[in-house]
Amino acid sequence: MTAATETIFVRDGVTARDQRVFVTKMVFAGVLLGLGVFLATRDGVLPIVLGVFLIGATYTHMVELQHQCLHHSAMLHPADHRRFGFPLGALMLVSFSHYRVRHLQHHRYLGTDQDTEFFGFDTRQPLTPGALFRGLFDYMRLVHAVADMVRCWRGTWRYTDGQISERMHRHVITEYRVLSVLVLAAGAIAAAGHWRLVLLLWVVPLLLVATPLHFLVELPEHIGCDNDSQDVLRNTRSITGSRLSNWYTNGNNLHIEHHAAMAVPINRLPERHAAVLAAAAYTNRTYWEFYRGVLAQVVRGGRGTA
């Protein structure tokens, strides 16, 4: 391993500046969400469509911010990661603690049969139109989330993908119960005659915008890579992207850099990208380049690499 390659794996902690960067991102996400709500509640088709899209797109962005909290690489105080991370994913019915335990196992076991990514698109399956459609509209995840809420109230929820601490188990139970209250509150608001608001501000953005957008953000991470290797320079992809895509995905485009040093604050990963481009097996310049490859692979019937 060369000195340049070693820089990809250097560990580092959160500084006060890193926290300010992350808080600024959260505040801006809140502004975008507020703008989306404003537009979606105006008269006229165009502002409603724009508002619904902006709301759903922000839901996806917020889950990417939540992802950084999973790794405790956003805030100076560890407890703040759950405090801020849970609300960031709540509108997509994501339990922060459940996501965290499975996602950290994904990092630990990537390249093995024990990989347990929370959002469950199987990167080893052929890329067919049917597989892409099921991934884009993965509503079964929401069904499973509701089922977990019911199990948490019944006291029958169990973690089935490995070991989990009693403390984390309690956190998961609490979070799914809170999410169930959110769902019931939305139902009550709709039943009280405000169903249009519930549809425009939550249901439609979640189902038709946030769910497929999140799939598109996550798809490049490992698809078409060497999934039987435990070498992060071979089993993961990075995309150089633009400032816009780097912001919107919260650095998810620099996925090799993230897997190589998962506790490093996302805003500092671009410093390692040149070394990744020189050493990694799977990189793309842009998301468009990556998705052109995906479409070409679909045309070939799922054969080849993305």
What residue ranges do the domains of the chain occupy? 3-220
At residue 300, the pLDDT reads: 80
Q: What is the mean pLDDT of residues 47-63?
A: 98
Three-state DSSP state, 239: strand
For residues 28 and 33, what is the distance between their CA atoms, to the nearest angstrom? 9
Q: What is the mean pLDDT of residues 234-244?
A: 97
- Amino acid identity, position 21: V
30 vs 299 pLDDT, higher one: 30
What percent of the chain is predicted at pLDDT more than 90? 84
Q: What is the mean pLDDT of residues 240-266?
A: 97
In this structure, of 59-73, 90-104, 115-129, the range with the lowest mean pLDDT score is: 115-129
Confidence of residue 113 (pLDDT cuts 50, 70, 90): confident
Q: Find all residues with CB under 8 Å of 167, minimum gap 6, and list them.
A: none
At residue 157, the pLDDT reads: 97
At residue 1, the pLDDT reads: 63
177 vs 5 pLDDT, higher one: 177
Question: And the tokens for 5?
Answer: 């390659």
For residues 146 and 186, what is the distance between their CA atoms, to the nearest angstrom? 14
153 vs 224 pLDDT, higher one: 153
Q: What is the mean pLDDT of residues 15-24?
A: 98
Say if residue 114's pLDDT is above 80: no
Question: And the tokens for 256?
Answer: 């090799």
Say if residue 20's pLDDT is above 60: yes
At residue 131, the pLDDT reads: 87
For residues 181 and 31, what is the distance between their CA atoms, to the nearest angstrom? 25
Say if residue 210's pLDDT is above 90: yes
Cβ–Cβ < 8 Å for 275, 4: yes
Question: pTM of the predicted model, to two decimals?
Answer: 0.94
Q: How many helices (H) and strands (E) does the chain have?
A: 16, 2
At residue 49, the pLDDT reads: 98
At residue 281, the pLDDT reads: 96
Which of 143, 297, 130 shows the shortest CA–CA distance to 211? 143
